[in-house]
Structure formats: C-alpha cells, structure tokens
Structure 1
Amino acid sequence: MSWFNCKVSYEKLVVESGKMRKVSEVYLVNAEDFTEVETLMAKFLKGRGPYVVDSVSKIRLYELFLDNKSERYYKCKVGFITLDEKAGVEKRKYEQVFVQADDIDLALKSLHKGMKYTLGDYEVAAVVETDCIDIVK
C-alpha cells in the first residue's frame, strides 16, 4: 500500500451563517494506486453532495503515529544517522513521519515515543502542521 495526498473541493453548509460555501480539504489516503484513491474518496464523501478531486499526489511516509483523538496532523522530517566508515563522516537519510496530535509539543513527544524502539540514532529536522483533515483507508 502507498500513501497519497488527496485534495477535494465541495460546497459545505456553514452553520453560523446558514449559507453554502465552497471548501477545499486535504486527506491522507492509504491505497494501491490513484484509481483506488478516487474510489475510497467517493465512499468517504458519499452524502456530502457533488465534489471535485482537485489533485492526488503520492507521498513517501516512513511511519504514521496516530492517537485517534486529535484533529491535527503534523509532518515530521526525521534524519537517520549512519556512519560512512570509508569517509569517516556521519550521513543522514531523511524520511517523513506523520503524527496526529493536538499541538506541536505533543506531536514531538508522540514522535519520540513512537521512535523509541528505533535501533539507530535519529534527529528531528522539522515538525510542521499539515492541512490534512483526516485519514482515509
């Protein structure tokens, strides 16, 4: 299975004003291919009315740490540190990790908790809140 970012737009009722407004939302989708992404999104968005899939892009994820309570998702850039014995220098291979958390501090804490069984050394290069609304599997 692969991970995809899927951006969709549709008309949504704004409760405060009682008016319809066009919204764009981004979802993280676990699927085999682009066709399956569209199929899963059709099931997920059923009942919301007409929608348009604006874009689908494949992304590489090393790991996904979910708490199933938070509504925010953070993308963490993690560098795995290895030693190049020939050159005698440290090298870093960077990977993306998605973390679900209420704020950036909790995201970092969840990342470290999830990575505690990692055999090699790593460093966190960046933690950024994403515009992802939900995960679709």
Structure 2
Amino acid sequence: MNSWYTVKVKYTKQMEDGTLKRVTEPYLLDAVSFTDAEARIYEELGEQIRGEFLVTGISKTDYADIFHYEDADYWYKCKVTYVSVDADSGKEKKVSNNFLVTAANAKEAYERIEESLESMLVSFEIPAIAISPIIDIFPFNPDLDRELDRREMTDEEKEEYNESRNPPVFTASGDDEDEVEETVEESTFTDESE
C-alpha cells in the first residue's frame, strides 16, 4: 500500500474573471514521510504556481488504490466494503477501504470502481461516493529524483552526518583525550608581620 499524504497549499490564484484571490487547495502525493511530502510539494508546484505559496497542513491519507482516467478531471472518493473471514477463528469481519477515481459524475465513478475492482475474489459493496476537493495527484516519480540528483546516502556519508549531529561529550572525570594541562604559577608570600 502506498503512503499518500494530503498537502494543503495556500497561494494567490488568478480567477477566471481576472481577479486575484487567496485560496487554500489540497494536493495528494506519494511520499515516504511528512518531510518528504513537504519537499516534494515544493518541487512539484514550484514551477506551476506563480509567486509564493505556503504549506498550511500535511496529513497522512489512507487510500487502497487510485484509478486515473484521462477523460475526467474530478476526483471521487469511493468507500468500498467487503466481508473478510479470519482464518484462525472463523469469524467474519467487515473491512472498509477508500479508493479515488476520476469521473465526470458520481454514476460514472461508481461504474469505474466496479470495473476496476471486478477481479476481487470477494463480493463488495460501494456504500458511499463523494466528490473530493483534491486538485491534483502526484504519484512517485523516479525521474524527478534523478533530475534533482537525489540519491540514497552512502554508508560513509551517513557516518559523517551522524558524527556532525552528535558531537563528542566531555565528562568531568578528567580522562578525555583533549585534556588541557593546567599550569599553576608559584607565588611567593611574605609574612609582613615579621
């Protein structure tokens, strides 16, 4: 299962009538962590949005799968339920999964989900279909990682990074390698009472 994150982005958008309006729009992207999701949204939207934009929220979102059809622009969230039987106890359990599909309307979304899931071995129901506010979806793109020269750190680079993040700790016991010798100057005291 992919790790999908919903990232809300706030920016100034030029509307169809030419006016400028401050909007917050959600985007869905495949990432390995919240930090990666934030970095990827800046990479993906950096050239698309003119001017500055701000990431106002990131949340992990659970989707079992996403079905994209080129002929539609609206994303529909479809809840699919089916009954699963536990192999050990024999008890039945109702399982729900969320799917996203592009369609022109709810009826077409229903038909496309049925078509996409027809290979499931268990019978399923689609109890809910709702239009999603998601503007665009950015799946994992290995070409973008190559273009940005992103790669996994080597063991040597990881070690250097960890050393720079964890400086040596000096103790009060006096057995540190970088111990500095103290020199004490002798001073002569004279007794003035004599």
The two structures have a TM-score, normalised by structure 1, of: 0.89
- The separation in 2 between residues aligned to 1:38 and 1:63, in whole angstroms, is 22
1:27 to partner: Cα distance: 0.8
SS at match of 2:135: strand
Indicate the residue corresponding to 2:127 in structure 1: 125
SS at match of 1:42: helix
Query: What CA deviation, in whole Å up to 9, does each residue of 1:5-41 have, x standing for no partner?
Result: 111110012241x332101111111111111111111
Q: Which structure features the higher share of strand residues? A: 1
1:69 to partner: Cα distance: 2.8
Indicate the residue corresponding to 1:28 in structure 2: 28
Q: Which runs of 5+ in 2 are unaligned?
A: 140-194
Indicate the residue corresponding to 2:148 in structure 1: none
Relative contact order higher in (CA < 8 Å, ≥ 6 apart): 1
Indicate the residue corresponding to 1:67 in structure 2: 69
Query: What CA deviation, in whole Å up to 9, does each residue of 1:31-64 have, x standing for no partner?
Result: 1111111111112221321111111110111111
- The separation in 2 between residues aligned to 1:134 and 1:100, in whole angstroms, is 11
Over 2 Å off, 4+ runs: 82-91
Number of residue pairs the alignment of both structures matches: 136
Contact 1:81–1:123 (CA<8 Å) still a contact in 2?
no
SS at match of 1:128: strand
Q: Which runs of 5+ in 1 are unaligned?
A: none
- The separation in 2 between residues aligned to 1:102 and 1:75, in whole angstroms, is 13
- The separation in 2 between residues aligned to 1:121 and 1:102, in whole angstroms, is 26
Contact 1:76–1:124 (CA<8 Å) still a contact in 2?
yes
Letter in 1 for 2:40: L
Larger radius of gyration: 2
Letter in 2 for 1:75: K
What's the C-alpha RMSD, in Å, of the aligned pairs?
1.9
1:84 to partner: Cα distance: 6.3
Pair 1:20–1:92, CA change in 2 (3 A): same
| 2:10 pairs with 1:19 | no
- The separation in 2 between residues aligned to 1:84 and 1:11, in whole angstroms, is 51
Letter in 2 for 1:112: E
The two structures have a TM-score, normalised by structure 2, of: 0.64
